[in-house]
Amino acid sequence: MKIISHKKKLKKFILGERNLGFVPTMGAIHKGHLSLIKKSIAQCNKTIVSIFVNKPQFNRINDYKKYPRVLKKDISLLKKIGVHYLFLPSHNQIYPDGINKRIKVHPFSKKLCGKYRPHHFESVVDVVDRFIKLIHPKKIYFGEKDMQQLKIVEDFIKKNHSYVKVVACKTIREKNGIALSSRNFLLSFDERMIASKIYKILRMRKNNLIKKSIYITDIKKKIFTLGVNKIDYIEILDINKLIKPYKNKVIYKVFIAYFLGSTRLIDNI
Ligand code: PAF
């Protein structure tokens, strides 16, 4: 695996690649990332992974500072699985002239997490746009765990980089139901137990929530009794009607964002 931290070197290495799969990450690689990477390795000639903790997309500086960074472990996992290139740029490499304040993203970016994390999705799209312009991948891989991010980025890529195919990958869960996420590294044992209970509550009550035989307020009350200090939202949405073109098939998901201590977790079930 070639490890590259400079844009010029990156261009030199990947210049001739015609069928490159790209998996952008912020590191703290887990089985969720590995499933995206495996798919890319199966579908593309070569696979490039980036690890870049994208400061502009964090709304709270503490969240950025405490984001898990375990580079040595990440490198060994990526080598083992057969990644061809690892791109590890610095902030200045990616933002030589600062962030793009004019980036246009779909208005769905103002809903769900967007209500609580202003400009978060603009910053995610900005960095993905920069990576695509550097890497020119044929396919780019995102997890359905971050469904809102997936839909917004997909919409942007269709409109601005139509030669890149967005590949959506299923959420990978632990046996206890918790969706894999780098932020799980920050959870205590007890917090993991709570996250698992929340998953089970939402899964069991999903159909009743859709039928409105129970209400979101009741579920919120139940979740608060488990020791959650803040729930940003619980909403039920049809994922095929989030961003046009809509699909006829109705697929409802329960979207949630909540805090365990100072760690913010999201899921869609
Ligand atoms: O999902 C993530 O890890 C990040 O939002 C991404 C897509 C790597 C952009 O920084």
* pLDDT value for 53: 98
- For residues 20 and 22, give the distance between their C-alpha atoms in angstroms, rounded to a whole number: 6
Ligand 1 binding pocket mutation candidate from 22, 23, 26 (most atoms within 8 A of CB): 26
* pLDDT value for 256: 98
pTM greater than 0.95 (yes/no): yes
Helices (H) and strands (E) in the chain, counts: 10, 9
Pocket of ligand 1, beta carbon within 6 A: 24-26, 54, 57, 124, 127-128, 146, 149
CATH superfamily of 2-169: HUPs (3.40.50.620)
46, 85 Cβ separation under 8 angstroms: yes
216 CA to centre of own chain: 25
**Structure confidence by residue, pLDDT tens digits, 170-191:** 999 999 999 999 999 999 999 9
Indicate which atom in ligand 1 lies nearest the CA of residue 124.
Answer: 9
* pLDDT value for 49: 99
258, 183 Cβ separation under 8 angstroms: no
Percent of the chain whose predicted confidence (pLDDT) is above 90: 100
Instruction: Name residue 23's beta-bridge partners.
Output: 49
Q: From residue 140, how far is each of 79, 113, 210, 221 by CA, in Å?
A: 19, 22, 33, 39
Indicate which atom in ligand 1 lies nearest the CA of residue 54.
Answer: 10
- For residues 112 and 36, give the distance between their C-alpha atoms in angstroms, rounded to a whole number: 24
Which residue type, as a one-letter code, is found at position 14? I
Ligand 1 binding pocket mutation candidate from 54, 172, 268 (most atoms within 8 A of CB): 54
Count other Cβ atoms within 10 Å, centred on residue 204: 9
Q: In this structure, which residue's CA is closest to atom 3 in ligand 1?
A: 25
- For residues 210 and 128, give the distance between their C-alpha atoms in angstroms, rounded to a whole number: 34
Helix, strand or coil for residue 231? Answer: strand
With a CB cutoff of 8 Å and minimum separation 6, the contacts of 75 are: 1, 3, 86
Tell me the pLDDT of the chain averaged across its residues: 97
Count other Cβ atoms within 10 Å, centred on residue 61: 9
Low-confidence ranges of the chain (pLDDT < 50): none
Closest to 86 in 3D by CA, of 25, 148, 39: 25
* pLDDT value for 85: 98
- For residues 166 and 138, give the distance between their C-alpha atoms in angstroms, rounded to a whole number: 9
Continuous H helices in 44-87: 61-66, 71-81
Phi, psi of 149 (to 5 degrees): -60, -45
**Structure confidence by residue, pLDDT tens digits, 45-90:** 999 999 999 999 999 999 999 999 999 999 999 999 999 999 999 9
Q: In this structure, which residue's CA is closest to atom 1 in ligand 1?
A: 25
Query: How far, in Å, is the centroid of ligand 1 from the Cα of 110?
Result: 18
> What are the residue ranges spanned by the domains of the chain?
2-169, 187-263
Which residue type, as a one-letter code, is found at position 165? K
Determine which helix (DSSP H) or strand (DSSP E) holds 250, and give its type and residue range. none
Catalytic residues: 33
Q: In this structure, which residue's CA is closest to atom 8 in ligand 1?
A: 25
